[in-house]
Structure 1
Amino acid sequence: MRCLLVEDEPARVAAILPELKRVFGDHAVEVAEDRDTAVARVSERAFDLIVLDQRIPSAPGQLDPDVVHGRAVLEQVRQVAPDTVVYFLTALPMGDEYVDELVAQGQLCDVFGDRKPTPLVRRFQKSTLTPFFEAVEQLAATARITDQIEINTRGAGIKLRDDEARLVRCFGRLQSGLCVDVEVLNDGLSGARVLKAEVKNSNGEVRMSAVGKIGPHDAILGEMKRYEQEVVRLPAGTYAPQLPPPLARVVGRRGAFYRLLEGYDHSMFEVLRISDNDAAVCANALRECESTWARKPSVKQGSILELVKLLVWEDRLPAIHSLIDDIDWRAYEAREIAVNMCTRHGDLHGENARANATHHVMLLDYGSVDPLPSAIDAVTLELSPFFHPHGYRDMLRWRPGDGTIDWFDLNAFAKLSTIPNFIASARKWAHAEAFGDREVLACAYIYVLRQLQFPKTDRDLAREMLSGIVSRGLKM
């Protein structure tokens, strides 16, 4: 738990701070005596409670106390941590219109996951502190229950940020749990993290298995919108049901949690490790799963560079291109092609698809769902075992010095691998729904190019594969 006291009068701090420390803990209460210091603290970390005096100075050492400075702190809270509880502690008359309006708005939020909406703004008078201390005690007691929920990494040493841990604990409390076992499934480029979370009760029983996506507030809202508009169109059982209610924001981050359907215990990567044939069956199941999205594609004509920018952040392209200057990527990316556009997952690597014992599949992580070239998911699925950190690079026999890879030649590429049936199934899916061969090849180019932004990518493999793709693509 953590509390921030924004107050510049030493006598008032002396009267309030000991009680706040008693309630929250000696090292869990911070003091800011001016606007600038308070704004910086609010931007840096999450607080369970902010106690705010309106009339404070603008900066350290300044003798310009004014209510506008305290209100500026509240505006910063609204910008970076709008679901934070703020208690105004004021000597101003109770008829202060500014605070009157805030209190009248009656904003409520389930801040701590107890399913009891808490008022986000309350006002107390400095002249009578007893009601203030009582309210602080009640809020801290609620926050303490959430804070005491254990996060168990099973010895993996997973390091969660404070805001991530708070969101996981809130989810655990929403599900009436005392412990949450966590496993990292994926760390995204956008700063998002995908976790498997098992909520346990006091008997050690699993109450809920879920997949959680924790990331920047706007990114999570975007994912939730994609989920509501596109993911729910897929057949029941092929995606994870979203678990209500939504969690409160913690600083600038938010969490979305989805129920992990029972029995979907293996990622596609794990299926591949066990059986090439089973993985091929799962690839066909994924194709069937996404058939709803593919039924009515629209044709788009444009340059390959335009397609690249749909999946690779433009500001990263110069650094990526600098790694392949010995390849004629400029001429290839300038080529105009036609592609079938439809809704696609956008990041269908082997960790984002899970399978059960009967080879039914379920999609996870919906942050990249968008209108994209129809072949991109099949190509991503095929190539991800060789590039994703959780994949199996040794399933491809190619080694540095072996020369250029002609990926488009299915027979030749499959012979390089230990998973030819899986590759054949994914490739068949790509060609079946693409506008033509050039779309399939371009999707492979985009996927491999995108991998070059990751530091752990096998760059020798990526360069030789891109060399073969570009060489063939310029002849089509």
Structure 2
Amino acid sequence: MKILLIEDEDRGARQALELFERAAPSSSVQIATSRDDALDAMDGEGFDLIVCDLRIPPSNSSADVDERHGLAVHAAARDSCPGTPIVFLTAFATKRNTRTQLSSGGTKQIYGLKDYPMVQLVEKGDMDEFEDLVSTLAQALKTVESSSELLAGDASDEMFLRAVKTYAHQINMSNAVIHTIAGGLSGAPLGRVELSSPQGGKANIFMKVVAFQDAVNERTNFEEFVPNRLQTGFFAPALSPITAGLRGQAALLSSLADGCVSLFHLLTQNPAVAAEAVKALKEATRPWIHASEPALMSLADLRRRRITDEKLAEALTFSGRALVCNESRTVEMKTSVCHGDLHGENILVTAEGRPILIDFGDLGLNVAPLDPVTLELSIIFHKAGPARSTDWFANAKWESWADLDIFVEGSPFELFIRECRAWSMEQDCANAVFASAYAHAMRQFKYPDVDKGITQAIAQSAYAAMSTSAPL
């Protein structure tokens, strides 16, 4: 257990450390001696428990010891460390309004403890109560960590592994197998998890661990755009998130059908079936088509949605800078609801060939061709893209990307590429598709594992195809 102790008196700190040694053996304790120390600590990393003397100074050099500084820690902790239990210690009678503020933390389920008070006030004279409180929390965490056997595969993020064990404990599963998924824009740890137990049968979920507020935003967008628009069976239904005990993060969970594989995997095994899955996904997402009038957008603004000027300047090759000089060109773009990160790892396919969308962190209104353009290019740009290991990849005519017949020549993924391109062209006019591809290709300059020559060639091809001037 990782504990932050905020205590300005040496004697109080020694007593607390002795108590932690008894109640939570092997815990890691960081000590802050003032409000400012505590705020710095909470801003830097997450904790499993925060213990704060209510009366503390604002800084190490100040003698202004007062409850208002402890309350400032309380307010900051609720913002920066949501889902982390807090214990306030006081040796003084506490005003009613102070108690009211401290009681606003509510209750959550944490480590299997239901309706656990997230903020508690303990008098310093009642150390038995304090020790019982710490011991209960530490034992609950220990129970969660030891209640299931985990085959983690490549998964290594500590809070992701804890979230898997927490959920397994919640549903009384004793075994969990993690199949990691190569993530996209967010870089958040995520994966498919198979859970089982001799008594409880089996369960399959998709799990993703992100910052608490990001989880709130993603869940809000999901509720707005997915279950009330898309047909059941084409997206992973959301389960109750884990919002406590993950050091300021939250775990988003979705249920999955057994036997799903990623679209990338399917592409390597049966490209024709993968292409049919793309066609099915196009039909399934028709309710996302947004009835908006096209709006003029410059290439610069479109590209800045994908990569900032500063990031691009750091990554551009000398010859690539000519592209940016031509970004004043405007294009009429339609708007649609978009998944926002539609690569082949974010589409799972059932044994029957039905595509299932997962990971909605970038869901929202965007330019209409974004999803199919991103999906097509993901076989090239994504680190798990199956095209990267083919002979075609080594010999492809990247400079002819916009000319579909030339580009797909010799590709084992021709059917898939054609299906994605047809979907793109249905979403908007050709100029809008090429502009979207230009912006998405330019975004790849910031990734060190993407070949900059390929990136530049595709961006140039897309630009030349939409331009009435001579190709760059």
Q: TM-score, normalised by structure 1?
A: 0.89
Q: Is the 8 A contact 1:223 1:367 kept in 2?
A: yes
Which secondary structure state, in structure 2, belongs to the residue aligned with residue 384 of structure 1? helix
Q: Is the 8 A contact 2:48 2:247 kept in 1?
A: no
Q: CA deviation at 1:369?
A: 1.5
The aligned counterpart of 2:138 is 140
Distance, in Å, in 2 between the alignment partners of 1:106 and 1:459 is 50
**Aligned partner letter, 1:377:** D
**Aligned partner letter, 2:207:** G
Name which of 170, 181, 185 aligns with 2:181.
185
Deviations 1:345-381 (CA, angstroms, capped at 9, x unpaired): 1211111111122211111111112222222222222
Change (3 A) 1:138 1:335: same
Distance, in Å, in 2 between the alignment partners of 1:346 and 1:92 is 53
**After superposition, where does 1:292-441 map in structure 2 within 5 Å?**
292-294=287-289, 296-313=291-308, 315-322=310-317, 324-325=319-320, 327-331=322-326, 333-392=327-386, 393-395=388-390, 397=392, 399=394, 405-434=399-428, 436-441=429-434
Q: CA deviation at 1:206?
A: 6.0
Mean Cα deviation higher: 50-59 or 203-212: 203-212
The aligned counterpart of 1:40 is 40
Distance, in Å, in 2 between the alignment partners of 1:362 and 1:339 is 27
Q: CA deviation at 1:238?
A: 0.3
Q: Pairwise CA RMSD of aligned residues?
A: 2.7
The aligned counterpart of 2:99 is 100
**Aligned partner letter, 1:110:** Q
Structure 1: unaligned runs, 5 residues or longer: none
Deviations 1:391-416 (CA, angstroms, capped at 9, x unpaired): 1224462547x876211211111114
Q: Is 1:228 the counterpart of 2:223 in the alignment?
A: yes
**Aligned partner letter, 2:18:** P
**After superposition, where does 1:62-101 map in structure 2 within 5 Å?**
63-93=63-93, 95-101=94-100
Identity %: 26
Q: Is the 8 A contact 1:102 1:121 kept in 2?
A: no
The aligned counterpart of 1:25 is 25
Q: Is the 8 A contact 1:223 1:368 kept in 2?
A: yes
Mean Cα deviation higher: 282-291 or 252-261: 252-261
Distance, in Å, in 1 between the alignment partners of 2:273 and 2:220 is 33
Distance, in Å, in 2 between the alignment partners of 1:398 and 1:42 is 47
Q: CA deviation at 1:384?
A: 1.2
**Aligned partner letter, 2:378:** S
**What is the aligned length?**
467
Change (3 A) 1:2 1:291: same
Which secondary structure state, in structure 1, belongs to the residue aligned with residue 294 of structure 2? strand
Q: Is 1:449 the counterpart of 2:442 in the alignment?
A: yes
Change (3 A) 1:26 1:86: same
Change (3 A) 1:84 1:14: same
Q: Is the 8 A contact 2:275 2:419 kept in 1?
A: yes
Q: Is 1:210 the counterpart of 2:209 in the alignment?
A: no
Distance, in Å, in 1 between the alignment partners of 2:240 and 2:219 is 11
Q: Is 1:238 the counterpart of 2:240 in the alignment?
A: no
Distance, in Å, in 2 between the alignment partners of 1:396 and 1:294 is 37
Which secondary structure state, in structure 1, belongs to the residue aligned with residue 380 of structure 2? helix
**Aligned partner letter, 1:428:** A
Change (3 A) 1:10 1:328: closer
Distance, in Å, in 2 between the alignment partners of 1:154 and 1:404 is 38
Distance, in Å, in 2 between the alignment partners of 1:280 and 1:468 is 24
Which secondary structure state, in structure 1, belongs to the residue aligned with residue 400 of structure 2? coil
Which secondary structure state, in structure 2, belongs to the residue aligned with residue 234 of structure 1? coil
Distance, in Å, in 2 between the alignment partners of 1:204 and 1:389 is 39
Q: CA deviation at 1:456?
A: 0.3
Which secondary structure state, in structure 2, belongs to the residue aligned with residue 141 of structure 1? helix
Name which of 273, 276, 289 aligns with 1:278.
273
Distance, in Å, in 2 between the alignment partners of 1:86 and 1:51 is 6
Change (3 A) 1:46 1:398: closer
Which secondary structure state, in structure 1, belongs to the residue aligned with residue 87 of structure 2? strand
Change (3 A) 1:74 1:427: same
Q: Is the 8 A contact 1:327 1:470 kept in 2?
A: no
Deviations 1:120-147 (CA, angstroms, capped at 9, x unpaired): 2222222232233233332332232223
**Aligned partner letter, 1:422:** F
Q: Is 1:122 the counterpart of 2:116 in the alignment?
A: no
Distance, in Å, in 2 between the alignment partners of 1:64 and 1:209 is 54
Change (3 A) 1:51 1:98: farther
Deviations 1:16-60 (CA, angstroms, capped at 9, x unpaired): 432321121144344433334333333344333322212234444
Distance, in Å, in 1 between the alignment partners of 2:223 and 2:245 is 20
Q: Is the 8 A contact 1:241 1:259 kept in 2?
A: yes
The aligned counterpart of 2:11 is 11
Q: Is the 8 A contact 2:234 2:284 kept in 1?
A: yes
Q: Is the 8 A contact 2:107 2:117 kept in 1?
A: yes
Q: Is 1:175 the counterpart of 2:168 in the alignment?
A: no
Which secondary structure state, in structure 1, belongs to the residue aligned with residue 77 of structure 2? helix
Q: CA deviation at 1:91?
A: 0.9
**Aligned partner letter, 1:116:** K
**Aligned partner letter, 1:11:** R
Change (3 A) 1:323 1:451: farther
